[in-house]
Structure 1
Amino acid sequence: IININSHRYSASLTNNSVLEWGVLLKRYKTNKQNEEALKLFHDGINKKKLIPNYIIYLLVLGICSDLGSLEKGKEIHKMIMNTKDDIKNNLKIQNVLINMYFKCRDITNAEKLFNNLNERDVITFNSTMKGYNFNELPDKTIDLYKQMIINKIQPDSITYTLVFAACGECVRLGKGKSIHMDIMKNNTINKDNLIIQTTLIDMYGKMADVQKAEEIFSKISKKRTVISFSAMMKCYNANELPEKTIELYEEMIKVKMQPSSVTYTLVFAACGDCVRLVTEQGFGAIIESLSLPIPGKGKSIHMDIMKNNTINKDNLIIQTTLIDMYGKMADVQKAEEIFSKISKKCDVISFSAMMKCYNANGLPKKTIELYEEMIRNNIQLSDGIYVLVIDACSMCLSRQKGWLIHHEIMNKNKEMSDIIINNALINMYGKFGDIDNARRIFDSMNKHDIATYNTMINSYGFNGQGLDAIELYRRMREQERWTPNDKTFVVVLNACSHSGLVDAAREIFYLIDERYRNKFVTTAMVDALARSQHWDEAQSVIENYEKTNERNIVMWTTLLGACRTYKEEKKAKEIYDKINEMKNISNNCRASVSVLLANTYASAGKYDKAESIRHKTDDENFKKIPGMTYIEIDGVNHSFYAHDKSHPKLNEIYNELDKLQQELIDYGHTFGYNSITFFGIVQGLCNRVILCTYVELLYNIFLLNIVNNLVYTNILPYLAFLYVYITGIDRIL
């Protein structure tokens, strides 16, 4: 007896027995040695002159499906059509043929077979529905279910699981509920069928009807399995309720139900999402004070697995989910430790998880290093890897590497019609300020999705081309008939904001359906109004939002940042007090708003008040996490923080900065305080070297001048532009 799940199987036909032929084919198929199975099939015909029966054809068609080999499948189909009628007209053969064509993505031939059948049973309909779901055509599954009912073919439990899965994918809540009611009235189906119940939980989860999913879950309390628990956890994760997933896991442990590897991946994802959601809401790392679990919960469950002998600790899915969890917790060191221990380091999934972790934690250079490691080790690159490394190049403004990766994709004959890769490239070139290349890629695409439009609109906004962004937004809606999503509204409102097009922003925002006016869309509108000094209207937008939603620190901080720009010290203090009234704000957030208020006072010349805020911040041990800026020179990336003093050529950089500023003074310019940080003032630094927001940009230019020894006049126009942008001194330009 051979354990065919653990060993490669090797055999050859010893006699002219069709029975032996079938047994050997089955063993190869079970052991996933499909290429060997096909060779054995042809050897049986060509060498042993065996004639396949319908069971042999069923096996070999299944093998073609597993391989996704349309060419081989068509070849077998042609052979079947030349056999006697009892084989070629056999309904089981027809059902497997339909399944094979769907698995090979040949929807046209699959539908042709289905439509030409004189006889159909429930398996025929199920095979076709399964094929539609596999090819992401859930609407067709639902239409086929209607046809099934019209033809009076009784659905079985598999039918219902397929149609509920389809309803979940296309979010047809009414239809899903209607079919659910059909089951409740149907006496031929077991209403308590656990597979149907878990599929219903999954469907309602995808439709964001968590209450209905919980209702179904509660009714199967006595029959719950690890699968039903996992379905409910998946529902909670999909609807941003990760704390409930963790509560459910703890319930499983209490009733001594052994979690599966799927359960662990879901609970680790939930632990990571707890941190992510709390951070997004502006509460930073102070999770202990909330109802959400602390990051230690994920680490504790991880330790449970290490002690648990019933779970494979080297399970790749668990390992990659752990990398993702620690990445969301900003514990990059732990993520790296897990990654280094993965035995199958050639697996693209583990590389993808680690790259995602690096990007999420502001370490794009490490993502690029991993990509280069994959190239050196000849590891097959997936679309997801290309997207991650392109995003990394966007983050650290690595133009040379980004351009090279773009050309590597094209040189490897990679299908450049891939929407996800093209979207990433548009974003990358937009971040580089190369809007022409971004638009060139957009126009070359045969097909756009909503993310393509969002990315291109965002690229226009990022580069100060608000009118172009609005024009593309209108084309998307009026000519292409695309329905915007919340991200569309965010990027177009941001584009209006950065170009000072407040009236256009109003026109867009006040026509948005209430369903889409979430916190991100509302914050973008607040930013547009605040940048144009429409304080009362901006505050009114926030207050209207908070009538039906929780208070949002990001909106108020956005308004506070604009107050600093326009030296609105009284308004800034009013907003600062409102923020401090909020509960469960992290020290990092308090530090950020304190720094903003101190800088507002400093820009207005109220240094005593600024210093008072600073002392309070120091006394309460608030820490603000600084932002990082990148510049690439001759393919080498330089990174630095605001007020960074770590660069080896620091003195030369500031000497150049002093020279340029002295030239401005000689031309009659007097420095204002609007762009001066309170940090610089309290340190006693010269106000000419502490331009707060854009000192990094000047740093970039001087790096170009010093590191590359460029001719000064070559960069002078760029410097002049930056000073106009920073100080508003049009006359100097």
Structure 2
Amino acid sequence: MIRKRLTDKSPSRQQRSQLWRSCTTIGTLKQIHASMIVKGFNSNTSALRELIYASSIAISGTMAYAHQLFPHITEPDTFMWNTMIRGSAQSPSPLNAISLYSQMENGCVRPDKFTFPFVLKACTRLCWVKMGFGVHGRVFRLGFESNTFVRNTLIYFHANCGDLAVARALFDGSAKRDVVAWSALTAGYARRGELGVARQLFDEMPVKDLVSWNVMITGYAKRGEMESARKLFDEVPKRDVVTWNAMIAGYVLCGSNQQALEMFEEMRSVGELPDEVTMLSLLSACTDLGDLDAGQRIHCCISEMGFRDLSVLLGNALIDMYAKCGSIVRALEVFQGMREKDVSTWNSVLGGLAFHGHAEKSIHLFTEMRKLKIRPDEITFVGVLVACSHAGRVEEGRQYFDLMRDEYNIEPNIRHYGCMVDLLGRAGLLNEAFDFIDTMKIEPNAIVWRTLLGACRIHGNVELGRRANMQLLKMRHDESGDYVLLSNIYASRGEWDGVEKVRKLMDDSGVRKEAGCSLIEGDNKALMHFLFDSKPKLNSRKPFLELHRC
């Protein structure tokens, strides 16, 4: 049937429309492509146009195939160039749109009013200001600046990453009658943090579209001004999923995770369907709260929504949530069920295993990762070194530290150095740990010295503990835990005079131990229970020691 329709010398418009309407998968697209090759690939301009449109716009995820097809078209017309540029500008690789535009100009194919909006959107996504100004110059020379679509996209470009003064000048002309121009300029001011100007424009808009409402709500949410965001949210005549997502993400961003979950329940109660962005924000909220039950409910919602094949982003967020909420078994289940994985996927499960005490499994997973030729990054090696530290595998940890630099050209950062200090310290190799710090290429921070101080406490080494504490006190004087650790080292050796000296130093510095507390969940609320006074009693040794242990 496909071949018959393509080879018919006078197919009706309806027949062609039905053919391309049925082209909804990569398999059908390849069938049509094969028929066109058999009958002469470049012989039917109309079919070529449809082929490019289907592969770059109509069918999701086939942009790469469109790029394979396009070079074989001997004389692509302006429509084909524009379609390729449009698809590329909307794809994960907007740079391809700029490359195609350059090829189009170099090939003496004259761009038209439909070309420039797509190119400008690609420049905006890439924040290529210089390129955008060059395209604006070309628009002006060809006389397209007065075209509504081109002008609005120019406003959008300049408002977001170009020159706000130019955006305002373009807007102050006939664009004031266009709600799209109002929204574009308002969005630009909001995204650049000038919420006052954005709000003034918003209030002056003769007609407010949903985009402008969402822009303002998002602007307030990103600034943490959730009361202002909620007020606008309540005034929106009609909301969409973007409106809800802005509020949910805003609550997560400012740490009001419980309110984010409540907003989701409100969203469901009015029948608004969430999307992947919603779920990513909610999983982040569950992770921050450490609320496994809520996380599992969100996972169920994801399954009910039909996300059977999890995207990489959603899968990674689920793994991270389960691992940080204490369910490494569920994290592994999600990992094993994902068809597509990236390095972040491996990092999440590898790090989760390491921090939950499954060091051997974590190291085994890293070995598997290397066998599959998945290139680890700096985060991967943090997880591996933590695993080696927890498992007491010193030699293996040293090998991975060297491997990171020698094979993968990853320069160690402070976290890698901290892991190595922890590895050596846990193993009781305290002198070697000090020597390692002395040879570090970057300045050790307080966390490195605190790690070593903790190791000195575990192994009861007073002399080295004093040395680590001296380094800490050079950096900071107000951390009570540093004093408590050194005090406990003295106490573990029965050196009570040392304990008293540390206490006096702590009092003289005005440092107070924060009250110990525990979190107890009751009636679906986290309740904080204080265990003891924040200031230790001077006439009692035992309570002071227990401050750190609790």
After TM superposition, the score normalised by the length of structure 1 is 0.52
Equivalent residue of 1:468, what SS? helix
Shift of 1:575: 1.4
Shift of 1:536: 1.4
Shift of 1:545: 1.7
* Aligned counterpart, 2:311: 418
Structure 2: gaps spanning 5 or more residues: 1-11, 36-41, 140-153, 173-183, 492-497
* Aligned counterpart, 2:9: none
- Indicate which of 437, 442, 450 corresponds to 1:545: 442
2:240 corresponds to 1:339:
no
What letter matches 1:119 in structure 2?
E
State the distance in 2 between where 1:123 and 1:574 align: 71
State the distance in 1 between where 2:156 and 2:276 align: 33
> In the alignment, is the contact (CA less than 8 A) between 2:484 and 2:545 conserved in 1?
no
* Aligned counterpart, 1:396: 289
State the distance in 2 between where 1:307 and 1:144 align: 39
Change (3 A) 1:191 1:632: closer
Change (3 A) 1:559 1:154: farther
> In the alignment, is the contact (CA less than 8 A) between 1:397 and 1:630 conserved in 2?
no
2:59 corresponds to 1:105:
yes
What letter matches 1:473 in structure 2?
F
* Aligned counterpart, 2:275: 382
> In the alignment, is the contact (CA less than 8 A) between 1:450 and 1:482 conserved in 2?
yes
- Indicate which of 361, 373, 394 corresponds to 1:502: 394
State the distance in 1 between where 2:249 and 2:503 align: 40
What letter matches 1:402 in structure 2?
G
Shift of 1:457: 0.4
- Indicate which of 321, 330, 336 corresponds to 2:219: 321
Question: Could you report, residue by residue, the CA deviation over 1:29-84 in whole angstroms, capped at 9, with x for unpaired residues?
Answer: xxxxxxxxxxxxxxxxxxxxxx979xx98xxx9xx9xxx9949xx99xx9xx9xxx
> In the alignment, is the contact (CA less than 8 A) between 1:101 and 1:110 conserved in 2?
yes
- Indicate which of 244, 247, 264 corresponds to 2:189: 264
- Indicate which of 491, 495, 498 corresponds to 2:383: 491
Change (3 A) 1:630 1:128: farther
- Indicate which of 497, 506, 513 corresponds to 1:614: 506
Shift of 1:460: 0.3
> In the alignment, is the contact (CA less than 8 A) between 1:598 and 1:614 conserved in 2?
no
Change (3 A) 1:686 1:679: farther
> Counterparts in 2 of 1:595-674, with a 5 A limit?
595-605=481-491, 606-618=498-510, 630=519, 636-640=524-528, 643-644=530-531
Change (3 A) 1:336 1:115: same
After TM superposition, the score normalised by the length of structure 2 is 0.67
State the distance in 2 between where 1:574 and 1:156 align: 71
* Aligned counterpart, 1:442: 335
Equivalent residue of 1:612, what SS? helix
Shift of 1:472: 1.0
What letter matches 2:229 in structure 1?
I
State the distance in 1 between where 2:251 and 2:213 align: 22
Shift of 1:455: 0.7
Shift of 1:505: 2.7
Equivalent residue of 1:510, what SS? helix
State the distance in 2 between where 1:337 and 1:564 align: 50
Structure 1: gaps spanning 5 or more residues: 1-50, 82-87, 184-189, 198-223, 233-247, 269-300, 327-333, 581-589, 646-677, 696-733
> In the alignment, is the contact (CA less than 8 A) between 1:396 and 1:631 conserved in 2?
no
2:127 corresponds to 1:231:
no
Shift of 1:129: 4.4
Change (3 A) 1:694 1:126: farther
Change (3 A) 1:436 1:572: same
* Aligned counterpart, 1:10: none
Query: What is the CA RMSD across the aligned residues, in angstroms?
Result: 5.2
Equivalent residue of 2:536, what SS? helix
Change (3 A) 1:644 1:481: same
- Indicate which of 75, 95, 99 corresponds to 1:119: 75
Change (3 A) 1:609 1:437: same
Shift of 1:516: 4.5
Shift of 1:420: 2.2
Equivalent residue of 1:545, what SS? coil
Shift of 1:576: 1.9
> In the alignment, is the contact (CA less than 8 A) between 1:490 and 1:524 conserved in 2?
yes
State the distance in 2 between where 1:496 and 1:464 align: 10
What letter matches 1:404 in structure 2?
R
What letter matches 2:220 in structure 1?
L
> In the alignment, is the contact (CA less than 8 A) between 2:214 and 2:246 conserved in 1?
no
Shift of 1:594: 4.5
State the distance in 2 between where 1:225 and 1:560 align: 57
Shift of 1:452: 0.9
2:537 corresponds to 1:682:
yes
State the distance in 1 between where 2:527 and 2:468 align: 32
Shift of 1:451: 1.3
- Indicate which of 75, 79, 87 corresponds to 1:131: 87
What letter matches 2:442 in structure 1?
Y
What letter matches 2:471 in structure 1?
I
Shift of 1:360: 4.7
State the distance in 2 between where 1:465 and 1:607 align: 37
State the distance in 2 between where 1:156 and 1:489 align: 51
Equivalent residue of 1:417, what SS? coil
State the distance in 1 between where 2:242 and 2:394 align: 44
Change (3 A) 1:444 1:495: same
> In the alignment, is the contact (CA less than 8 A) between 1:264 and 1:318 conserved in 2?
no
Change (3 A) 1:539 1:336: farther
Equivalent residue of 1:446, what SS? coil
Change (3 A) 1:523 1:375: farther
* Aligned counterpart, 2:176: none
> In the alignment, is the contact (CA less than 8 A) between 1:594 and 1:613 conserved in 2?
no
- Indicate which of 467, 472, 475 corresponds to 1:576: 472
Shift of 1:554: 4.6
Equivalent residue of 1:451, what SS? helix
Equivalent residue of 2:192, what SS? helix
State the distance in 2 between where 1:155 and 1:623 align: 73
> In the alignment, is the contact (CA less than 8 A) between 2:280 and 2:314 conserved in 1?
yes
Change (3 A) 1:226 1:537: farther
> In the alignment, is the contact (CA less than 8 A) between 1:565 and 1:600 conserved in 2?
no
Equivalent residue of 2:301, what SS? helix
What letter matches 1:487 in structure 2?
I
